[in-house]
Chains A and B, each alone.
Chain A
Amino acid sequence: MPKYEDVIDLYDDNGKRIAKDIPLEAISPLRNEAIKKIVSLTKRTIAVDLAGIEKALKSGSVAGAVIKGKEIDIPLVKNANKIAKIVKEKIQVYDGDGTEVAVKGNRLVAIVPEARMSAGIEYTTGFTSVAAATTEAIIDEFKIPMYEANMVKAAVWGRYPQTINFQGANVKSILEVPQNNEGAGFALRNIMANHVVALVNRNAMQGTALSAIFEQCGSYEMGDLIGNFERGGLLALAYEGLNANNMLYTLVKKNGKTGTVGTVIESLMDRAITDGVIKVKETLPSGYKVYTTKDLPLWNAYAATGMVAAVMVNIGAARAAQGVPGTVLYYNDLLEHESGLPGVDYGRAEGVGVGMSFFSHSIYGGGGPGLFHGNHVVTRHAKGVLIPAVTAANCLDGGTQTFSAEATSGLFKEVFGDVEEFARPMQCVAAEAKKVKKKL
């Protein structure tokens, strides 16, 4: 028996139906294998920059310092395959446990086995295992003497543990160290919008989906989607992230050519009334109709979908990501004035829009919207629903941003580029949802 009565149809990024009559639970990160795979690979996939290590060792320039007389000249890139093999041997627990180490250009991309993750508590296992294995592999393979081995450690791990994070490391994870998280359960919210943009190759629908998945998984982990709150989070994930009932795509299609944020609101109200989500509570003397709903979480999911659609229309028309905080802010305010019902995340998205406008427009230092993630002091409040809109905007940028995804996140595109779950999460989640449906 499904836990919730809600049933949705899932549509892909082109507005084509790919899964029919899916129970809401089937897209839950707790049930859906595609989402689980995304989460699992996010913490298990680690990149090793062999060229970077080679250069650091050759110049003695490690972890932000130059140490003369301790240079080591070894051909790492040339021996990439050999190092990959050794690293794999070191991190593998048993044959066929899912360990992978591949050579991609001047890099190694390592996937740490689940067995290591489940024998520990922290997701940093991914990073630490690969960093340690790489250090060992280099020392062993090139017979580095004891008094030079510390240089190898510094070239691989960076300055850590003098620093909180792995500053200057040539091993990279898409996740930050836990110490940099705003609070409990923020790990998956600490992924920059630009990283997601790079992972989905600037496909705004897929970017919205992947960000929504990361954010809502974060919501579970933060303790936000437990019990009565779960349905609201899943509805938002379904409609805003996974184009449930093709609402997001239709809203954008209807308003793509000539529409504004205002017309998106008009279309959304129309849809919400037609679907019976909201109805008129009373008509005031001026003729203004106050709307009400019996299902606030569902209205919130509709509002969140409208928010992403408004961003896609307004920012899409500008092909300039900078307007996303303003669009989020005024979309919500206009929607509240239009309906008499609260905006996305019950006012929190609007509040975030105010702060984020300030922080992303050089009034308070530099930085564009692409650098934002759900772990930021101004964005953390609108959990689950805000960052997908930011990602959508950054996907649609035509080249106006100094901090573009290409500039900040090219590495992760290379690392995760051929993993289907990251490039096309909508299709993968829908396919798995069909399987869950059969079990329910």
Chain B
Amino acid sequence: MAYKRQFYPGDSIPAKNRRRYMDPKVKLKKLRDVPMDDVVRIMGHRNPGEDYKSIHPPIEEGKEPECPIRKLVVPIEGAKHGDRVRYIQFTDSVYFAPISPYQRAWMYLSRYRGVDTGTLSGRQIIEVRERNLEIMAKEMIDNETFDPALTGIRGATVHGHACRLDENGLMFDGWQRYQWDAKKKEVVYVKDQVAIPLDRKISVGKPASQADLKKRTTIFRADGVDMREDKEVTMYGLRIHKLRTLGGYQPWAFKE
């Protein structure tokens, strides 16, 4: 028997989107193509073309400590080279951003290996060996989980995910790392993720419409799809709560 993952319950649009983003077999739509050098600039860990700095000597087969697991688990490219662990952090607006921070963690750990990820209230950090991070970051900026107006690339001072949007429909950013280009109707980055000014502007394209976003989002909202409307999702939450409680009390006595 070969088990196939089912990911997440539910029949609603957000539930279906959650499953899509988590399923590594689904190739996410590429909506834009931000050049790799620009991704590197926005992250600001190194200059494009510069060598990767390393934190330890390269991993050579046969020279690692004697451990059967090291023989079974192949290190990712950056680990082989001893790259530093660097990060990219996204802030996702509550106004129907394509994905929300918590689902990013689910998606990352379902799609990538060798990652350290953490969710905070409105932001999601991912820490990976540098050369692998760059590939991941480009995918995340290019694909459908990113919206130029409602997803922010912010290393620090991430405040904005629960703020009202501005008049151009952009998520608030006190450091204004990105601006609205009224002529091109596009969002352009003028600062890197920690607000160091960029040499030149980097366009990340046109924002999606709210109608489109409501179809793409993973966010349950009272003015969109209320989580309580999706009976399966509600049932799931109640069930896990109940089973954790019963398991914590007398696991051997559990029957259903």
What chain B residues lie within 8 Å of A273 (beta carbons)?
1, 3
What chain B residues lie within 8 Å of A232 (beta carbons)?
251-252
Q: Say which residue of B15, B105, B239 sits within 8 Å of A326 (CB atoms).
A: B105
| Residue from B9, B66, B72 having most chain A Cβ neighbours under 10 A | B72
Bound-state CA distance A389–B131 (Å) is 26
* Inter-chain contact A317/B248, CB cutoff 8 Å: no
| Residue from A232, A312, A342 having most chain B Cβ neighbours under 10 A | A342
Per-residue CB proximity of A368-412 to B under 8 Å, as 1/0?
Answer: 000000000000000000000000100110111000000000000
What residue in chain B is nearest A284 (Cβ atoms)?
Answer: B232
What residue in chain B is nearest A300 (Cβ atoms)?
Answer: B251
**B196 is an interface residue with CB less than 8 A from chain A:** no
Bound-state CA distance A313–B79 (Å) is 13
**B67 is an interface residue with CB less than 8 A from chain A:** yes
* Inter-chain contact A296/B65, CB cutoff 8 Å: no
* Inter-chain contact B24/A260, CB cutoff 8 Å: yes
Per-residue CB proximity of A148-177 to B under 8 Å, as 1/0?
Answer: 000000000000000000000000000000
Q: Say which residue of A270, A285, A292 sits within 8 Å of B1 (CB atoms).
A: A270
Per-residue CB proximity of B5-25 to A under 8 Å, as 1/0?
Answer: 111111100010000001010
**B129 is an interface residue with CB less than 8 A from chain A:** yes
Per-residue CB proximity of B216-256 to A under 8 Å, as 1/0?
Answer: 00000000000000001001100110011111101111111
What residue in chain B is nearest A336 (Cβ atoms)?
Answer: B240
* Inter-chain contact A399/B56, CB cutoff 8 Å: yes
Within the complex, what minimum Cβ distance (angstroms) separates A255 from chain B?
8
Known interface pairs A203-B66, A228-B252, A289-B6; A313-B110 also in contact (CB < 8 Å): no
**B109 is an interface residue with CB less than 8 A from chain A:** yes
What chain B residues lie within 8 Å of A317 (beta carbons)?
73-76, 79, 113-114
**A239 is an interface residue with CB less than 8 A from chain B:** no
Q: Which of B63-90 contact A (CB under 8 A)?
A: 64-70, 72-76, 79, 82, 85
Known interface pairs A284-B232, A320-B116, A330-B109; A395-B67 also in contact (CB < 8 Å): yes
What residue in chain B is nearest A297 (Cβ atoms)?
Answer: B251
* Inter-chain contact B110/A398, CB cutoff 8 Å: no
* Inter-chain contact A318/B129, CB cutoff 8 Å: yes
Within the complex, what minimum Cβ distance (angstroms) separates B18 from chain A?
9
* Inter-chain contact A340/B239, CB cutoff 8 Å: yes
Q: Which of B42-67 contact A (CB under 8 A)?
A: 55-57, 59, 64-67
Known interface pairs A205-B69, A396-B69; A260-B109 also in contact (CB < 8 Å): yes
What residue in chain B is nearest A286 (Cβ atoms)?
Answer: B11
Within the complex, what minimum Cβ distance (angstroms) separates A328 from chain B?
11
What residue in chain B is nearest A254 (Cβ atoms)?
Answer: B72
Known interface pairs A322-B127, A326-B116; A201-B65 also in contact (CB < 8 Å): yes
Q: Which of B164-190 contact A (CB under 8 A)?
A: none
**B115 is an interface residue with CB less than 8 A from chain A:** yes
What chain A residues lie within 8 Å of B9 (beta carbons)?
284, 286, 288, 290, 337, 340
Binding site for B on A (CB under 8 A): 13-15, 201-205, 228-229, 231-232, 249, 252-253, 256-263, 265-267, 269-270, 273-274, 281, 284-290, 292-294, 296-297, 300, 312-320, 322-323, 325-327, 329-331, 333-334, 336-338, 340-342, 346-348, 357, 361, 392, 395-396, 398-400
Q: A273-B1, A400-B55 given. 13 additional CB < 8 A pairs? A: A260-B110, A261-B113, A262-B109, A263-B24, A288-B6, A296-B246, A300-B251, A312-B72, A313-B113, A318-B75, A330-B105, A346-B247, A347-B240
Binding site for A on B (CB under 8 A): 1-11, 15, 22, 24, 55-57, 59, 64-70, 72-76, 79, 82, 85, 105-106, 109-118, 127-129, 232, 235-236, 239-240, 243-248, 250-256
Return the 6 tightest CB-CB contacts between A and B, nearest first.
Answer: A399-B56, A323-B116, A316-B73, A346-B247, A262-B110, A318-B114
10 contacts between A and B (CB under 8 A): A201-B66, A203-B67, A267-B3, A269-B3, A297-B252, A300-B247, A319-B75, A323-B114, A346-B243, A346-B251
